[in-house]
Structure formats: C-alpha cells, structure tokens
Amino acid sequence: MQFLQEYGGQILTTTLEHLYISLIALFLGALIAIPLGIVLTRTPKIANIVLGITSALQTIPSLALLTLMIPFLGVGRLPAIVALFIYSLLPILRNTYIGLKNVDKNYLDAAKGMGMTNRQSIFQVELPLAFPTIMAGLRLAAVYVIAWASLASYIGAGGLGVLIFSGLDNYQPALIFAGTIPITLLALGADYLLGRLESKLTPQTLQKEGK
C-alpha cells in the first residue's frame, strides 16, 4: 500500500505514455501495411522484395534500431514511435498479403460474374474474407509493440520501461514488477479487445465455417 502511495502516480503516468506510444505506432503500422498488402497482391513481381525488406528490418535488435533513430530523429517519443512502427509492419503486411492471396478463387470468379470492379471485389469480397487473417497479424503486432515499447525509455520516450530500468539500476524488484505487470496486462488486454473486434466484424458465414 505504501508503495502504491509513493509510486502510484508515476505508474499511471508511465502506463499512459506506454499506451500512447504503442497505439500510435500500431495505428501507423496498420495504416501503411494493410493498403500495401493489398497492392502487393496485385504486383507479385515486387511482393517478395518488399516482404523480404520488412523481414530484414524485423531482424534488427530493437535496442539497436532505437539507437539508430537518434542521429536522424533525436531522442524522445518520435524516434520510439518510428522504430515501433517499423516493427509492426511485418506481421500486419504478411498476414494481409497471405489472407488476400488465400481467398478462394470461386469467390473471385463469382464477384467478376456479378460485374464487380477490382475495387469492389477488394472491399466487398476479398477483405471481408481475409479479415480474420489480417486481424491475427494485427493482434501479433500489438503484442510485439507493447512489449518492445518498454525499451523506448532508453531514448527518453517514457513509458513503463522507466520503472523497469529504474528498478534494475537501483536494485528495487518492486519497481521492476510495477513496470512489468502493467505491460503484460496491456498486451493481454490489447489481444483480447482486438479478438472481440475480430469476432464482431468477421462475416457470420466465416464464423459458422470456423465452427
């Protein structure tokens, strides 16, 4: 109880900072990766190149990537958001591409037979059918981003990493737990909420097939 009285305000502040950084990075990742995934299904010649580049970026250690941002973007939230945005790209992009590529050809033929344009086919047929796969990538990216955002404190971006590394530096396990537990809860909460969103927005026919 005394610990909460002493650090409660800091825990709340750093949790909000952590959530802010993570949500913006994830939103930007989805904003770029989903349309790009759609484009790649229409341009197979460059799909492997783009997916290869994003896979290569994913292999860069998170702390190293954050450090590489400093000469270009300085310190603070901006470089942290950019680095986390880069990490969020691969799961969303890959799942969008795979989901759209795996849409049953019979549905595409039916869409053409109904006189749908390419744009109508994408938004009315392909995306709804690929939605569960896309959401799986988004959920994975959310967990990654929330976990890796703990390192953002190294470049002055704040977040729950402040508590974790402060606990490590000062040999205070309570601070480490105060940072680690909220990160775990945020990751689980994000996965749960995105799962609920997926259930609500997935076409009922797909849900019945899944059963």
Q: Tell me, what's the pLDDT at 81?
A: 94
Q: Which of 73, 95, 206, 77 is nearest to 149 (CA)?
A: 77
DSSP code of residue 180: H
Q: Which of 168, 167, 161, 153 is nearest to 186 (CA)?
A: 161
Percent of the chain clearing pLDDT 90 (strictly above): 62
DSSP states of 88-145: HHHHHHHHHHHHHHTS-HHHHHHHHHTT--HHHHIIIIIHHHHHHHHHHHHHHHHHHH
pLDDT digits (tens, 9 = 90+) for 26-57: 999 999 999 999 999 999 889 999 999 999 98
Residue matched to tokens 């783009």:
50
Q: Tell me, what's the pLDDT at 140?
A: 95
Q: Tell me, what's the pLDDT at 211?
A: 45
Q: Tell me, what's the pLDDT at 196?
A: 92
Specify the higher pLDDT residue, 204 or 114. 114
- pLDDT averaged over every residue in the chain: 90
| pLDDT exceeds cutoff 80 at 1 | no
Q: Tell me, what's the pLDDT at 210?
A: 53
Q: Tell me, what's the pLDDT at 6?
A: 76
pLDDT digits (tens, 9 = 90+) for 167-189: 988 888 999 999 999 999 999 99
Q: Give the model's confidence band at 5: pLDDT under 50 very low, under 70 low, under 90 confident, else very high.
A: confident
Q: Which residues of 161-197 are buried (b: 16+ CB within 10 A; e: fewer)?
A: bbbbbbbeeeeeeebbebbbebbeebbeebbeebeee
Q: What spatial distance separates the first Cα and last Cα of the chain, rounded to whole Å?
A: 46
**Rounded to an integer, what distance in angstroms lies between the CA atom of residue 56 and that of residue 158?**
27
User: What's the whole-model pTM score?
Assistant: 0.89
**Rounded to an integer, what distance in angstroms lies between the CA atom of residue 169 and that of residue 33?**
38
**Rounded to an integer, what distance in angstroms lies between the CA atom of residue 13 and that of residue 206?**
41
Q: Tell me, what's the pLDDT at 112?
A: 87
| pLDDT exceeds cutoff 90 at 202 | no
Rounded to an integer, the average pLDDT of 79-108 is 93
Sequence-distant (6+) residues with CB within 8 A of 175 are 7, 163, 164, 166, 167
- Domains of the chain (ranges, CATH numbers): 13-210 (1.10.3720.10)
Q: Give the model's confidence band at 154: pLDDT under 50 very low, under 70 low, under 90 confident, else very high.
A: confident
Rounded to an integer, the average pLDDT of 134-152 is 94
Q: Which of 182, 168, 154, 171 is nearest to 10 (CA)?
A: 182
- The CA distances from residue 202 to 77, 101, 126, 139, 208, in Å, are 34, 18, 12, 15, 10
Q: Give the model's confidence band at 135: pLDDT under 50 very low, under 70 low, under 90 confident, else very high.
A: very high
